[in-house]
Amino acid sequence: MPLPRGLRSRCEKILSNLPIPDPFSADAFADALAEHRGRPISMHPLPSTADTAAHTGLWVPLASVDAVFYESRTSLAHQTLIKLHELGHIAAGHQPDYNPEMIQQAFPDMEPRYVAKLFGLPRASYDSVEEQEAETIALLLASRLGSGRGTTPDGKRLTATLAHPVRQDYGTAGTR
Residues near Zn ion (CB under 5 A): 131, 134
Min dist CB 97 to Zn ion, Å, is 6
| Cβ proximity to Zn ion, 128 vs 175, nearer residue | 128
| Cβ proximity to Zn ion, 111 vs 129, nearer residue | 129
Min dist CB 172 to Zn ion, Å, is 35
Residue 38 C-beta-side C-alpha neighbours within 13 Å: 0
| Cβ proximity to Zn ion, 29 vs 150, nearer residue | 29
| Cβ proximity to Zn ion, 81 vs 134, nearer residue | 134
Min dist CB 120 to Zn ion, Å, is 18
3-state secondary structure of 80: helix
| Cβ proximity to Zn ion, 71 vs 131, nearer residue | 131
Nearest to 32 by CA among 159, 139, 168: 159
Min dist CB 136 to Zn ion, Å, is 11
Min dist CB 84 to Zn ion, Å, is 11
Alpha helices in the chain (DSSP H): 5-16, 26-37, 76-91, 100-106, 112-119, 128-142, 153-163
CA distances from 68 to 17, 116, 169, 171 (A): 21, 19, 27, 29
Cis peptide before 23 (omega within 30 of 0): yes
Integer Cα distance of 133 and 122 in angstroms: 22
Q: Which residue is nearest to Zn ion (CB)?
A: 134
